[in-house]
Structure 1
Amino acid sequence: MREEFLHFLWQYKLFNTKSLLSVKGETIEVINSGVYNTNSGPDFLNAEVKIDGQLWIGNIEIHVKSSDWYMHHHERDINYDAVTLHVVWDYDAEVFMKNNLPLPTVELQQFIQKEVLENYQKLFLKEQRWIPCEKQIREVDSFLLDNWLERLYFERLENKAGFIKELLIQSNNDYEAVLFQLLAKNFGLKVNREAFLELSNSFDFSILRKVRFNEEQLSALLLGQAGFLEGDVKDNYYVQLQKEYNYLQHKYQLKSLAKQRFQFFRMRPSNFPTIRIAQLVALYHRHQNLFSQILEVYSLKDFYMLFSVGVNDFWKIHYTFETVSKKSAKRLTKSFIDLLIINTIIPLKFVYEQARGEVNEEGLLKLMQQLKPEKNSIISKFSELKIEAKNAFESQALLELKNNYCVKKHCLKCAIGNSLLRR
């Protein structure tokens, strides 16, 4: 039995309220269960309870065992002097008030509805499952599920916003600089994500602002900082980039990363860090004020046009500096742009609009609903449970559900778990 579940029972009065008695036989009538206290102190504040017909306004403390009162040293804490009722699952010790009278106590297990307890056991006490409610989730009302998914999506946005706000503080609210950091991180995908973020942080963004008009200098800056220009390659383009980077390194006192930070192993050539850097170069050489442009865009078609960039002639026939390959444009694919929209563009637009008190929730949702759902093991497993993600909005919400509710067994805080328990 979890104390959190007892809080849930008390808050929603999921017990026999008409014949509630204390362990001493006193009649208990709950007028108001009180305000749930998430800080230190009693669990519910300012509750209204009649004990043998006498109205008491005070606090409620809840424990699995009544002896937990002493285990938690509440007898020494003045914050618990105003407790008027002790609610427990198992009454194993008597608790006294300051006037040496027994604290009125309810042993809740005697009054719990059988169906509520069975629903609780189905969620928490059965065999290990991928999610606690995997055998019941399809029974949840579709209207409730749709509304819960929308709330989950915005919770996920808020979580992403925390990291973005930290970057904004570090950059003195330079949204263009933060956009570059986020794009770089997501250009690295899962394997090279942290290395690309380090790359974006290895020099001041003001340097990129100065050199982005010159494609060769911009290439030299990013590839040089990534450590890819420290070898001895017999190629004119490589040699020219080396010269440009040596000049920039001396001028701006730059220190490059070790190229070993970037992984090529078991990666598709299209995801090689050299190609992703070349695409990032193409994007920033083509668009001089990228953040200002994305603020004006909500159409998926317009985003595809904005990010439709290909690499320069050298990279069209190379995946690395050393080896020539079959010619290809190596443009950003729609599926890759979708990932950038999901993980970079929308979260940053959300933070920007939130800071100005004008979040266009409808516009953000509409854009997410135009995107295809992500493909990963979590979304596939939900699909097996007949919970199909129709778009990226729903797949992002399901990721939030699994990672921050199901894994942590926060069923009592989840609208789905709440609904199943209260049936």
Structure 2
Amino acid sequence: MNFPEDFLHYVWQFKSFNFDNLQTADGLPIKIIHQGFLNKNSGPDFNNAKIQIGETIWAGNVEIHIQSSDWLKHNHQLDASYENVILHVVYDHDVEIRRIDGSILPVLELKNRISSDLTRKYETLFLTLTDFPCFAQIKSVDQLIVDSFLSRTLIERFEQKTIAVFETLDELKGNWDETFYRFMAKNFGFKVNALPFELFAKAVPQNIYSKHKDNALQIEALVFGSSGFLNDQFNDEYPQKLKQEFEFLQKKYKIKPIEVSMWKFMRMRPQNFPTVRLAQFAGLIVNSNHLFSKIMEIKEVDSLRKLFENLPINGYWKTHYHFKKEASAVTIQIGKTSVDNILLNTVALFLFAYGKHTATQYYINRAIKLLESLPPEQNAITNKFEEAGVKMDNAFASQGILQLKKQYCDKKKCLSCGIGIKILKQS
């Protein structure tokens, strides 16, 4: 059988092997008082183990390898940090190992102690060709265990995402409002146009909009001008006025518009066109400049949704989805699904990030409560997990699923997954 050391880590950590007549390779009896704690950093695999070998009780570390000779391949014989290893646990004992001081390292061989049932379950998980390793087995795992691990993966996901928030916050010298504004703009791009939205937000800082908060036309001019959509000649009065306003504002603030070619329209419904999204974004700025401060005060999800509803969007967009293309019955307000996407990917993230940055559990709890109040996401990944029997009642669960798939399933890290471990333990 071919398997990684991680499998032996699992076998040792959960004592999933035959304990009958345990002894070292040279015949000394072994009693495992405590197997130690898995070490995910450099050094021996398990720390603070307690093991009786013969008549002596030893306290120290345990190193695990597929073969004893891996000790030499990894150059542990030259590393003083491995001098406190009290037991070498291997699948196949192929060579005698000595410590730096010349003493023989006690070895426990597991080759004939791991059940064929356990190895079969492991192979079933790792050799599966389905969308994720435990597709066929996950429905047999108690939902409480699944939910518990999804709680862990959700926190992991948000902690990873806060890294980008903190990097931008440092770049902006601790300005939370401006940081939030940039991430909010990127979210309005909804993946397809996330990059041009992000660049457009950098082109015009939020404080410039605040100087024109009482003039909707000027805010719209700043939005469409900096995004590159006013570098043309127009017949309609509305874009002509925007162009005229922007020419003045561009000189005043030395604005460099992004390339209009960056925006993507293909294979997209008209209500999702970047021009319509920009019109919505302009309406949001008109309605709520310095939005982050307001969001920090609002606790109920329905009240948060109202910040993005009934925006003052110019009526021009009711009959257009581009400056030179008319349309009939274009939806110009942000749809509920899109609003929930913003609440999930920006608002909840920033509540969590602010809580981590200020060490304030209150905001972290608010982020979690918000996720629990939002419906689960519907996409190819979550649909597959639902098909396999996983229940997702809210966005907290679906976000946990996305992290589970990316960081555990795709990487075949079943032995680090609470769900995978439970499947292996099931009789």
TM-score category, normalised to shorter length: over 0.9
In the alignment, structure 1 residue 384 sits paired with structure 2 residue 380: no
Cα shift readout 1:33-87 (whole Å, capped 9, x = no counterpart): 2232222222122322111121122221111111111111111222222222111
Secondary structure, aligned partner of 2:50: strand
Between the aligned partners of 1:329 and 1:84, the Cα distance in structure 2 is 70
| C-alpha displacement of 1:5 | 1.5
The residue number in structure 2 matching 1:44 is 46
Q: Which moved more, 1:327-336 or 1:277-286?
A: 327-336
Cα shift readout 1:362-386 (whole Å, capped 9, x = no counterpart): 5433332332222211111112212
Matches within 5 A, 1:348-387: 348-360=350-362, 361-387=364-390
| C-alpha displacement of 1:328 | 4.7
TM-score, normalised to structure 2's length? 0.94
In the alignment, structure 1 residue 414 sits paired with structure 2 residue 423: no
Between the aligned partners of 1:52 and 1:284, the Cα distance in structure 2 is 75
The residue number in structure 1 matching 2:400 is 397
CA contact 2:348–2:368 (8 Å) conserved in 1: no
The residue number in structure 2 matching 1:6 is 8
| C-alpha displacement of 1:317 | 1.9
Between the aligned partners of 1:310 and 1:394, the Cα distance in structure 2 is 34
Between the aligned partners of 2:45 and 2:396, the Cα distance in structure 1 is 36
The residue number in structure 1 matching 2:277 is 276
CA contact 1:20–1:111 (8 Å) conserved in 2: no
In the alignment, structure 1 residue 156 sits paired with structure 2 residue 124: no
Q: Which moved more, 1:248-257 or 1:352-361?
A: 352-361
| C-alpha displacement of 1:104 | 1.1
Matches within 5 A, 1:333-348: 333-348=335-350
Between the aligned partners of 1:254 and 1:265, the Cα distance in structure 2 is 28
Q: Which moved more, 1:250-259 or 1:5-14?
A: 5-14
Cα shift readout 1:284-332 (whole Å, capped 9, x = no counterpart): 1011331121112232221222111152122222111112222556111
Mark the CA change 1:392 to 1:253 in structure 2 (over 3 Å): closer, same or farther: same
CA contact 2:286–2:312 (8 Å) conserved in 1: no
The residue number in structure 2 matching 1:63 is 65
Between the aligned partners of 2:312 and 2:287, the Cα distance in structure 1 is 10
Between the aligned partners of 2:138 and 2:329, the Cα distance in structure 1 is 50
C-alpha RMSD of matched pairs (Å): 1.8
In the alignment, structure 1 residue 209 sits paired with structure 2 residue 210: yes
Mark the CA change 1:211 to 1:2 in structure 2 (over 3 Å): closer, same or farther: same
CA contact 1:310–1:331 (8 Å) conserved in 2: no
Between the aligned partners of 1:132 and 1:329, the Cα distance in structure 2 is 42
| C-alpha displacement of 1:245 | 1.3
Cα shift readout 1:142-174 (whole Å, capped 9, x = no counterpart): 221122222222222212212111111111222
CA contact 1:156–1:397 (8 Å) conserved in 2: yes
The residue number in structure 1 matching 2:291 is 290
Mark the CA change 1:40 to 1:363 in structure 2 (over 3 Å): closer, same or farther: closer
CA contact 1:215–1:285 (8 Å) conserved in 2: yes
TM-score, normalised to structure 1's length? 0.95
Mark the CA change 1:27 to 1:282 in structure 2 (over 3 Å): closer, same or farther: same
Cα shift readout 1:203-244 (whole Å, capped 9, x = no counterpart): 333222222332111111111111101111122222221122
Structure 2 alignment gaps of length 5 or more: none
Between the aligned partners of 1:359 and 1:294, the Cα distance in structure 2 is 17
The residue number in structure 2 matching 1:254 is 255
CA contact 1:310–1:329 (8 Å) conserved in 2: no
Secondary structure, aligned partner of 1:61: strand
Letter in 1 for 2:179: V
Cα shift readout 1:118-165 (whole Å, capped 9, x = no counterpart): 3322222x3422211111111111221122222222222212212111
| C-alpha displacement of 1:343 | 0.5
Letter in 2 for 1:277: L
Q: Which moved more, 1:174-183 or 1:36-45?
A: 36-45
Between the aligned partners of 2:150 and 2:192, the Cα distance in structure 1 is 29
Q: Which moved more, 1:349-358 or 1:188-197?
A: 349-358
Between the aligned partners of 2:155 and 2:76, the Cα distance in structure 1 is 38
CA contact 1:202–1:225 (8 Å) conserved in 2: yes
Letter in 1 for 2:373: Q
The residue number in structure 2 matching 1:147 is 148
Mark the CA change 1:99 to 1:238 in structure 2 (over 3 Å): closer, same or farther: closer
The residue number in structure 2 matching 1:301 is 302
| C-alpha displacement of 1:409 | 1.1
Between the aligned partners of 1:314 and 1:196, the Cα distance in structure 2 is 21
Q: Using the aligned pairs only, state the percent identity.
A: 37
CA contact 2:169–2:175 (8 Å) conserved in 1: yes
Letter in 2 for 1:341: L
Secondary structure, aligned partner of 1:96: coil
Deviating beyond 6 angstroms after TM superposition, the runs of 4 or more aligned structure 1 residues are none
Between the aligned partners of 1:381 and 1:118, the Cα distance in structure 2 is 24
* Aligned mate of 1:102, from 82, 101, 104: 104
Mark the CA change 1:58 to 1:222 in structure 2 (over 3 Å): closer, same or farther: same
CA contact 2:287–2:312 (8 Å) conserved in 1: no
Secondary structure, aligned partner of 1:369: helix
CA contact 1:310–1:330 (8 Å) conserved in 2: no
The residue number in structure 2 matching 1:24 is 26
| C-alpha displacement of 1:112 | 2.3
Between the aligned partners of 1:66 and 1:318, the Cα distance in structure 2 is 72
How many residue pairs get aligned? The number is 422
Secondary structure, aligned partner of 1:110: coil
| C-alpha displacement of 1:191 | 0.9
Q: Which moved more, 1:132-141 or 1:366-375?
A: 366-375
Secondary structure, aligned partner of 1:85: strand
CA contact 1:14–1:112 (8 Å) conserved in 2: yes
Q: Which moved more, 1:368-377 or 1:82-91?
A: 368-377
